[in-house]
Structure 1
Amino acid sequence: MNILDKAIAAISPEKGLKRVAARQRLKIINSGYSNYGASHTKKSLLGWLYSGGSAKEDIQENLATLRQRSRDLYMGVPLATGAVKTCRTNVVGGGLRLKSQVDYEVLGISEEEASKLESKIEREFALWADSPACDIERLDNFYELQQLAFLNWLMSGDVIVTLPVTKRINMPYDLRICLIEADRLSNPAGNTNPRIVGGVEVNEAGEVVAYHISTHHPLSFEAIETKWTRVEAYGAKTGRRNVLHVMNRERIGQRRGVPFLAPVIEALKQLGRYTDAELVAAVVSGMFTVFIEKESASSETALGEIIPEEQQVDSADDGTLELAPGAIIDLNEGEKAKELNPGRPNTAFDGFVIAICRQIGAALEIPYELLVKNFNASYSASRGALLEAWKMFKMYRTWLANDFCQPIFEEWLAEAIAKGRIPAPGFFADPIMRKAYCGAEWNGPAQGLLNPVQEVTAAEKRVANGFSTRDRETMELTGGDFYKNVQQLKREEQLMKEVRNIAEEANSK
């Protein structure tokens, strides 16, 4: 009741009561969303505790907990490990491979010249990418770094990549890839600048201008002083990308990525606990132990084999009682043994786990069949599950290619052209020429075939009707290269022709 209602009620209680009743009726008569999801009067929604904030409050302030819990699930819950690795294997596999696609029309060259240039670019890139020399730590090649970057992207929400330049023996290229774990991108100690969020600095327009990277991992136990290095996002003179921030945003204004498992952390943890409890119960139920009651106390050793100390789970704790398969245990006077039947294996376990796995798979866009590698349904159902999963895999592959592979390739190509190893007139003079030289496709592992005969026949019909090309179908069916296949087939046919001629000559003699 507001001040006006109180004043009216003091003068005329009857009118005041009518005003209060009218206000209550207005609250009940909702319209639009206020009658559904935004209702404050429905009993089904009265117990809903909710609150919201900007991307900073909702995401950034919870990232440290989300990262550590996601990593813990990856290391200890099989279903979480399987979900992350399934995504990694199908998106990256053995690595996304370069297929150079220069725009010969812009460059003013013939198709044959463009094909030769593309082959040279791919050959030179393989020299650098196939060697661990491309890694600043000199451990992984470019394709293994893709796997590592994507795996950390899934677990931590984002990955930081810097592109330092160092010289190495027997390697003509100086570009190096340095992967940095997400935790090291953080606000400097004592930071009061509101434009630095999660180590990402923006200007007044909201453009990312710098990254603040710590020299020491914040979760490490090493007693080392932590310092921060401010790395500009782009070179002031050249515009070169100094930092690649591999992440997927889900909110406007978001500066850091969210771990892949974040929406299902609670479900995965609870399912892991339930699975562990069922496993322990099943093991206990398998230990058939006999207890012997005595009317008087006995100091004799129990009948049967006593559990050896080295086989005990917790031999240091005298208060721990352990069971063993087939053991016979004496009891003291007045003690009774009560049979304990845990009823394991639990008949409802499988159905419950399947139901939870379906929900987890729906949230992660990984169908249940693929999540648990169980294809017991019909052909059409299994194929439908794979097709749905591959929509997500292709989307992630595109993101990885755009945010990681392509920028690194462009930096490498600039170095190769600057050093004269690849001829590219106009590359540094005209942005459209630069883009024409940098054209590329990144091909990864192909989708599996449930029925190869039907799917190959469908591919033939698509090509025959102009819906697709042989090059694209080859890439999608086998992950291969149509032109290289044709060249190899040409050599093989020539060889087989020579063998047949030799055989015919031998038979004629």
Structure 2
Amino acid sequence: MWSRAVEFIAPGVAAKRERAKTEIVRQRAIQQVFNQGYGDHGGSHKKKAMLTWNPAAGDAEDDIHENLEQLRPRARDLFMGGALANGAIKTLRTNVIGTGLRLKPNFDADFLGLSDEKVSELRKQIEREFSLWADSKECDASGLHNFYELQQLAFLSWMMSGDAFVLLPLLPRHHTVYDLRVRLLEADRCSNPTTQERGLYGKLSSGVEVDNDGMVVAYWFSDRHPGSSLGLPTKWQRVQVIGEKSGRRNVLHLMEAERPEQRRGVPILAPVIEALKQLERYTEAELMAAVISGMFTVFIESPDLDQDQFGLGAPLDNPTGEPLPTGNDDLKLGNGAVQFLNPGEKATIANPGRPNTAFDPFVIAILRQVGASLEIPYELLLKHFTASYSASRAALLEAWKMFRMRRSWMSADFCQPIYEEWFVEAVIKGRIDAPGIFDDPLLFKAYTKAEWHGPSQGQLDPVKEANAAVIRVENGFSTRQREAAELTGSEFESNVRQLAYEKKIRDQYGLTADRRVMKGGEEEDGKEDQT
């Protein structure tokens, strides 16, 4: 009745009331939808904690590529000036690459139909020829590094900048057998030219050109670094990934993708840049406060600096050797310094209360989060092992999962493609005999199959680690070759040859074979007869 009366007396008011009812019903319906499933949790539109958190959903181009010009310089600045960032990246470099990933030819002898003698001969020949190229600095286009030093440089650039590029030109030089060269380019050199061709619109992103199917077909490189101080015009060159006529690989791109359709890599420090920078500032502030707290300065106030203050007959000089203030000089704290004040001036000393006892626990708490993002346990990040053997070993094992993963990527994306290009040149020049390698892709893969071994993990308890290796080998869970590489970074076959030689020498000079064998953590007398 009331609604009808209002509608008869004031139809405008009745219309407003009806619209308000409709809006209330609509809002209740929306809330019912949003409060279902994730709408009542992470996707909530009504919780106060979520009201102001509305990030935009962008593609890899908007979220990643558009921000790389800020991320790269900041990550490099942290590496150059921040002890923690520098230590984190170098820890990765040392454990993943170390002195270099070494070639171990592992060609498919069964498929190739090679006898044991031929296998041993071919393996030695490949290792000898590859060492001739890899150990020389001639493998570097700039002539500065050998192959193993190039590995660590490429990896450092990859971690700092998010990606790195490798060109593989053929550059003949005097007094060299092989023409293959490795040329490293920093990530900033790959960029969009200032004047793009109309046909490349939508197919060129951050210097990476793709075809209609989304496959990367070429990269655009500038002739100099965009941050170079030289005021010369920049030119770009298009380099195809695979040569049209030769079919050889021209460019290697080292990067870690985190999203589909991502063409460029993100610096590994990107998620923790703000935390590391703030921690660096906090550390500098604490250090300065500690320095100020450790200073002792005497302040002297005199009504007239020209009078004899202590009855010595002459004005007193500053024991520090510095001239007396004239009224505008800045006062400075120092170790045992004496500062004179002008008449009427007072010196108020602020006690900074340093060193701060809460500094170390707070820094460790932040570094735990940083280590979680970088997949480096904070014990390894700080090189600070004070926990139990089990805890320290668990931290190292967790870190080595990541180290092996990155080593595998480095082997697959850098070492193996370069090795295959070198192998082709060695076969063409008749340095290595590999019949039919260009006739069948299976033959090519069978000949060029290889393993890349890096530095060993190391042992907290060498006896336990060695006994565990023996058990794995005896039960077929591993091989002597793999265990030798992982425990000591050595090669099993070379070890056996060296041991045989050493035994021969010992027998030649009549040395006793007094040795002890570790078994089950206990010492047992060696079973070998004494000479």
TM-score, normalized by length of structure 1? 0.92
> What does residue 312 of structure 1 align with?
none
Contact 1:307 1:324 in 2 (8 A): no
In the alignment, the residues of structure 2 paired with residue 445 and residue 49 of structure 1 have an alpha-carbon distance, to the nearest angstrom, of 46
* CA drift at 1:320: 3.9
Does 2:283 match 1:275?
Answer: yes
> What does residue 255 of structure 1 align with?
263
Counting only pairs closer than 5 Å after superposition, residues 100-249 of structure 1 correspond to structure 2 as 100-191=105-196, 193-249=201-257
Counting only pairs closer than 5 Å after superposition, residues 235-384 of structure 1 correspond to structure 2 as 235-294=243-302, 296-299=303-306, 304-306=318-320, 308=322, 320-384=330-394
> What does residue 3 of structure 1 align with?
none
> What does residue 56 of structure 1 align with?
61
- Counterpart of 1:459 (choices 466, 469, 474) is 469
The one-letter code sitting in structure 2 at the alignment partner of 1:22 is: V
In the alignment, the residues of structure 2 paired with residue 11 and residue 501 of structure 1 have an alpha-carbon distance, to the nearest angstrom, of 114
| Structure 2 residue matching 1:327: 3-state secondary structure | strand
Moved more, 461-470 or 423-432: 461-470
Name the Cα RMSD after superposition.
2.0
Instruction: Quickly say closer, same or farther: Cα 1:502–1:190, change in 2 above 3 A.
Output: closer
| Structure 1 residue matching 2:332: 3-state secondary structure | coil
In the alignment, the residues of structure 1 paired with residue 437 and residue 462 of structure 2 have an alpha-carbon distance, to the nearest angstrom, of 44
> What does residue 38 of structure 1 align with?
43
Moved more, 162-171 or 398-407: 162-171
| Structure 1 residue matching 2:104: 3-state secondary structure | strand
Q: Give CA deviations for 1:302-342 in whole Å, capped at 9, x if unaligned.
A: 76523659xxxxx9xx7643211112222222221212100
- Counterpart of 1:480 (choices 485, 490, 495) is 490
In the alignment, the residues of structure 2 paired with residue 243 and residue 104 of structure 1 have an alpha-carbon distance, to the nearest angstrom, of 30
Moved more, 276-285 or 334-343: 334-343
* CA drift at 1:115: 2.2
The one-letter code sitting in structure 2 at the alignment partner of 1:101 is: N
| Structure 1 residue matching 2:178: 3-state secondary structure | coil
Q: Give CA deviations for 1:389-438 in whole Å, capped at 9, x if unaligned.
A: 11111111011111100000000000000111100000011110000000
In the alignment, the residues of structure 2 paired with residue 302 and residue 68 of structure 1 have an alpha-carbon distance, to the nearest angstrom, of 53
The one-letter code sitting in structure 2 at the alignment partner of 1:305 is: P
Instruction: Quickly say closer, same or farther: Cα 1:319–1:37, change in 2 above 3 A.
Output: farther
In the alignment, the residues of structure 2 paired with residue 214 and residue 391 of structure 1 have an alpha-carbon distance, to the nearest angstrom, of 37
* CA drift at 1:14: 5.1
> What does residue 439 of structure 2 align with?
429
- Counterpart of 1:21 (choices 21, 24, 42) is 24
In the alignment, the residues of structure 1 paired with residue 433 and residue 84 of structure 2 have an alpha-carbon distance, to the nearest angstrom, of 50
| Structure 2 residue matching 1:326: 3-state secondary structure | strand
In the alignment, the residues of structure 2 paired with residue 302 and residue 213 of structure 1 have an alpha-carbon distance, to the nearest angstrom, of 69
In the alignment, the residues of structure 1 paired with residue 67 and residue 512 of structure 2 have an alpha-carbon distance, to the nearest angstrom, of 74
Instruction: Quickly say closer, same or farther: Cα 1:486–1:9, change in 2 above 3 A.
Output: farther
> Percent identity among equivalent residues?
57
In the alignment, the residues of structure 2 paired with residue 73 and residue 299 of structure 1 have an alpha-carbon distance, to the nearest angstrom, of 52
The one-letter code sitting in structure 2 at the alignment partner of 1:148 is: L
The one-letter code sitting in structure 2 at the alignment partner of 1:367 is: P
* CA drift at 1:15: 4.8
Contact 1:184 1:217 in 2 (8 A): yes
* CA drift at 1:351: 0.8
In the alignment, the residues of structure 1 paired with residue 410 and residue 510 of structure 2 have an alpha-carbon distance, to the nearest angstrom, of 48
| Structure 1 residue matching 2:71: 3-state secondary structure | helix
In the alignment, the residues of structure 2 paired with residue 437 and residue 393 of structure 1 have an alpha-carbon distance, to the nearest angstrom, of 28
| Structure 2 residue matching 1:383: 3-state secondary structure | helix
In the alignment, the residues of structure 2 paired with residue 196 and residue 472 of structure 1 have an alpha-carbon distance, to the nearest angstrom, of 44
- Counterpart of 2:428 (choices 408, 411, 418) is 418
Contact 1:302 1:330 in 2 (8 A): no
In the alignment, the residues of structure 1 paired with residue 234 and residue 342 of structure 2 have an alpha-carbon distance, to the nearest angstrom, of 62
Instruction: Quickly say closer, same or farther: Cα 1:319–1:274, change in 2 above 3 A.
Output: farther
In the alignment, the residues of structure 2 paired with residue 44 and residue 335 of structure 1 have an alpha-carbon distance, to the nearest angstrom, of 52
Contact 1:357 1:368 in 2 (8 A): yes
Aligned residues: 488
Moved more, 147-156 or 164-173: 164-173
Contact 2:456 2:485 in 1 (8 A): yes
* CA drift at 1:49: 4.4
In the alignment, the residues of structure 2 paired with residue 502 and residue 452 of structure 1 have an alpha-carbon distance, to the nearest angstrom, of 26
Q: Give CA deviations for 1:163-215 in whole Å, capped at 9, x if unaligned.
A: 11112222211100011111111111122622111111001100111111111
* CA drift at 1:494: 1.5
> What does residue 90 of structure 2 align with?
85
| Structure 1 residue matching 2:509: 3-state secondary structure | helix
Contact 1:161 1:243 in 2 (8 A): yes
In the alignment, the residues of structure 1 paired with residue 149 and residue 160 of structure 2 have an alpha-carbon distance, to the nearest angstrom, of 17
Contact 1:216 1:224 in 2 (8 A): no
TM-score, normalized by length of structure 2? 0.88
The one-letter code sitting in structure 1 at the alignment partner of 2:387 is: A
Q: Give CA deviations for 1:24-58 in whole Å, capped at 9, x if unaligned.
A: 33344311111111111111111224223110011
* CA drift at 1:266: 0.4
* CA drift at 1:348: 0.8
Instruction: Quickly say closer, same or farther: Cα 1:308–1:164, change in 2 above 3 A.
Output: farther
The one-letter code sitting in structure 2 at the alignment partner of 1:180 is: L
Contact 1:173 1:416 in 2 (8 A): yes
* CA drift at 1:230: 0.7
- Which structure's CA Rg is the greater one? 2
Contact 1:9 1:15 in 2 (8 A): no
Which structure 2 residue ranges, 5 or more long, are not aligned?
Answer: 1-10, 308-314, 514-531
Instruction: Quickly say closer, same or farther: Cα 1:21–1:131, change in 2 above 3 A.
Output: same
Contact 1:303 1:330 in 2 (8 A): no
